[in-house]
Amino acid sequence: MKIFITGGTGNIGQHVTKALIDAGHRLVLLTRTPNRIPGFAALPNLEIVQGSILDLEIMGKSLAGSDAVVHIALGWGNDPVEMLDHDTRVTAYLADAAEKAGVSKFIYTSSTAAMGKLRDGMDETALRMPSDLYGATKASAEMFLLGFNQYYNAQGVYGKKVCLKRNIIRPGYIFSNPAFEGGASQSDTRFLDLAVNLLQNKDVEYSKYNGTQYLSARQIAQLYVRLVESDLNGEIFMALGQKFVSWADIARMMLEFIPESHSKVIVPDEKESRKPSYYYAGKMKTVFGLSFNGDEDLPEHCAWNIDRARKILAGEAVHNPYHVW
């Protein structure tokens, strides 16, 4: 299958790119920085196109002849109009261009933020109640995709039906070690900051309910492969680990790699009435047999951040893996 992919060099995208190629697919990858990951040049079945997701004409030409579009790239803005223009409009354009080019499948990367603040037990059927512009952007893009079932011939007059199969993935917190030299990681620096503190023998304090259902980019990439190879249409998949992991758990995990540290992990007593809320992420297991605890790849991620922290504290230069808009 020939697949056009955006965001293929980012935190999630680098692992999706690798997984799709490993699965035998051919990729056309749109990126603003084609030289960011030198290892991509050696990958088979990968064509790189330089451009931004705001370059609509380039995207339209680049997806021609593809069987599927995997849209991962995030378009950012600092106000409602910019967010709408840089992300939702891009998604609507891509879907329309894909339909007109005869592409058969489209996967959109949304976010749990489309549903707003976590209410215990939220799944794919939860109401979209975004609490910020990022969530509103994702929610609106979802609605455009799900509603894009046919064109109009005139006001209120239905026209040609759409053949494009559109599906949505809603990631939670996705972390990653770079899949290739020069690759990305999540933009959140809390893992690195924690490693620096522990190496400096500083105590750290966390609420026992401060955490989430982590999932690694390597793991979520498996969902992208299964979904793009399926014949599903109009489906939404939550992409989170099954297990709640707190920052206190992560700090203890890191300390196992730093036996010389004298740091203490402090977890204040809290009322039992305050318990963590959970997303229900069982659909990807029911449909594809995919289920992840989320902490399976965390030890490796902790070790990677500790290694970077040691180098930083020693005054050594380290690669900046944070790819942002």
pLDDT in tens, 72-116: 999 999 999 999 999 999 999 999 999 999 999 999 999 999 999
Give the CATH number for residue 47: 3.40.50.720
The model's pTM: 0.96
pLDDT band at 275 (very low <50, low <70, confident <90, very high): low
Q: Which of 6-15, 161-170, 316-325 has the lowest mean pLDDT?
A: 316-325
Beta bridge partners of 239: 171
Residue 208 has pLDDT above 90, yes or no: no
Q: Is residue 41 part of a domain?
A: yes
90 falls within a domain:
yes
Structure tokens belonging to residue 5? 């992919």
Say yes or no to pLDDT of 270 above 80. Answer: no
Task: Quote the percentage of the chain above a pLDDT of 70.
Answer: 98
The 10s digit of each residue's pLDDT in 145-165 is 999 999 999 999 999 999 999
Q: Is residue 234 part of a domain?
A: yes
Q: How many residues does the chain have?
A: 325
pLDDT band at 263 (very low <50, low <70, confident <90, very high): very high
pLDDT in tens, 173-198: 999 999 998 899 999 999 999 999 99
- Is 115 part of a structural domain of the chain? yes
- pLDDT at residue 200 greater than cutoff 90: yes
The more confidently predicted of residues 119 and 298 is: 298
Q: What is the pLDDT of residue 7?
A: 96
| The pLDDT of residue 23 | 98
pLDDT of residue 285 exceeding 60: yes
* Residue-wise pLDDT tens digits, 252-262: 999 999 999 99
Q: Is residue 293 a contact partner of residue 242, using CB atoms and an 8 Å limit? A: yes
Mean pLDDT over 112-123 rounds to: 93
Report pLDDT for 272.
58
The answer to the question of residue 157 being in a domain is yes
User: What's the whole-number mean pLDDT along residues 272-291?
Assistant: 86
Q: Which domain holds residue 144?
A: 2-172+217-239
* Cα–Cα dist 112/89, whole Å: 20
In a domain, 120, yes or no: yes
pLDDT score at 276: 67
Please indicate, yes or no, if residue 308 is contained in any of the structural domains: no
Q: For residue 216, which of 7, 14, 6, 38 has the smallest C-alpha distance?
A: 14
- What phi, psi does 28 have (nearest 5°)? -115, 115
- 190-222 exposure pattern, b = at least 16 Cβ within 10 A, e = fewer: ebbebbbbbbeeeebebebeebbbbbbbbbbbb
267 assigned to some structural domain: no
How many structural domains does the chain have? 1
> Is a pLDDT exceeding 90 seen at residue 39?
no
